[in-house]
């Protein structure tokens, strides 16, 4: 499953599912947490269940539901709604320990969500501190939430993102150790395409596989940022061709365009080509 773009919308607005699909999102998320006020949560759950979009409507997009936090009075009903809506997975925010991830998994299993995917939200000081535990406890993917993290640590949010570089890196590393994709923070100014693209480029360089989106206009930018470019693919093919030629000639040293090519470079080239065909 591709996870380049994960587009969120309020759960009560199930008509947004069509907008998710039209935008080309890899994953569309109906949000029962931040995007749904307390007095609208029950109504939103009913709307999700009543809509129950089918595979024909969704196309290649996966549909997820973001629940309220584990332990909230809404959590159990949120899971029931996700099951009844036929969601492919659930997003659970603010997970901080391996035990919490296991509790979520058990709750999903008990409600018939055994085969659904779990995206774990890491967006607190404790969550980042225990990111390896959280990612390794049974989550299928994880995201870093910068806004909640900065509030929790008492920091100041800046355009440079320097204040969250360490935390972002910790989540990316933890996800890689667990063998799951990491998803990067939102860009709240959805009108600033340049800022989104620049931030996505940094995220990809850190090892993230995709980005959270809050507006359809961000989806194409995310899909482009987390897909190999034609220049990268040309480089990857050239590296592999040079490596094959050197092996055929019995050479122990490989170079391409004046640069030494060793095993990590070859593996990176292979990964780029695999990403280009990943469905």
Residue numbers of the chain with a pLDDT score lower than 50: 279
What's the pLDDT at 278? 67
What's the pLDDT at 104? 96
Instruction: Quote the CA–CA distance of 103 and 156 in Å, as a whole number.
Output: 33
Are the C-beta atoms of 2 and 26 separated by less than 8 Å? yes
User: What are residue 116's phi and psi, to 5 degrees?
Assistant: -80, 155
pLDDT in tens, 129-141: 999 999 999 999 9
What's the pLDDT at 260? 87
238 exposure class (CB count in 10 Å sphere: 0-12, 13-18, 19+)? middle
What's the pLDDT at 44? 95
What's the pLDDT at 230? 87
Are the C-beta atoms of 142 and 119 separated by less than 8 Å? yes
- Largest separation between any pair of C-alpha atoms in the chain: 71
**In the chain, which residue ranges form alpha helices assigned H by DSSP?**
16-23, 41-51, 55-58, 75-84, 98-110, 125-129, 131-135, 146-153, 165-178, 193-206, 217-225, 230-248, 263-277
What's the pLDDT at 87? 94
R_g over Cα of the chain: 20
Instruction: Quote the CA–CA distance of 21 and 43 in Å, as a whole number.
Output: 23
DSSP for 1-70 reads ---SEEEEEETT-TTHHHHHHHHT-SEEEEESSTTS-GGGHHHHHHHHHHH---HHHHTT-EEEEEPPPT
What's the pLDDT at 111? 86
Are the C-beta atoms of 86 and 62 separated by less than 8 Å? no
Q: Which domains, ranges and CATH numbers included, belong to the chain?
A: 5-225 (3.20.20.60), 230-277 (no CATH)
Using CA atoms, how far residue 59 sits from 17, 62, 222, in Å, is 11, 8, 19
Nearest alpha-carbon partner for 107 in 71, 79, 137: 79
What's the pLDDT at 162? 97
What's the pLDDT at 60? 92
pLDDT in tens, 11-57: 999 999 999 999 999 999 999 998 899 999 999 999 999 988 888 88
């Amino acid at each position: 499953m591709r996870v380049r773009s994960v587009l969120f919308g309020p759960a009560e607005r199930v008509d947004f599912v069509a907008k998710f699909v039209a935008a080309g999102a890899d994953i569309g998320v109906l949000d029962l947490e931040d995007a749904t006020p307390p007095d609208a949560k029950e109504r939103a759950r009913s709307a999700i269940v009543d809509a129950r979009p089918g595979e024909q409507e969704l196309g290649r997009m996966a549909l997820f539901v973001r629940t309220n936090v584990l332990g909230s009075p809404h959590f159990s009903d949120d899971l029931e709604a996700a099951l009844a809506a036929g969601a492919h997975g659930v997003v659970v925010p603010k997970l901080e320990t391996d035990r919490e991830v296991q509790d979520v998994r058990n709750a999903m299993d008990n409600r018939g969500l055994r085969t659904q995917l779990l995206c774990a939200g890491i967006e607190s000081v404790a969550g980042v501190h225990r990111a390896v535990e959280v990612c390794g406890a049974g989550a299928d993917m994880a995201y870093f939430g910068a806004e909640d993290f900065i509030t929790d640590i008492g920091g100041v949010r800046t355009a440079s993102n320097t204040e969250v570089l360490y935390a972002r890196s910790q989540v990316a590393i933890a996800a890689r150790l667990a063998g799951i994709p990491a998803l990067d923070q939102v860009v709240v100014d959805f009108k600033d395409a340049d800022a989104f693209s620049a931030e996505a480029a940094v995220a990809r360089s850190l090892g993230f596989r995709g980005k959270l989106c809050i507006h359809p206009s961000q989806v194409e930018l995310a899909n482009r940022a987390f897909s190999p470019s034609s220049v990268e693919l040309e480089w990857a093919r050239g590296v592999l061709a040079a490596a094959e030629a050197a092996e055929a000639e019995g050479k122990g040293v490989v170079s391409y365009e004046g640069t030494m090519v060793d095993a990590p470079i070859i593996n990176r080239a292979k990964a780029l080509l695999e990403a280009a065909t990943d469905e």
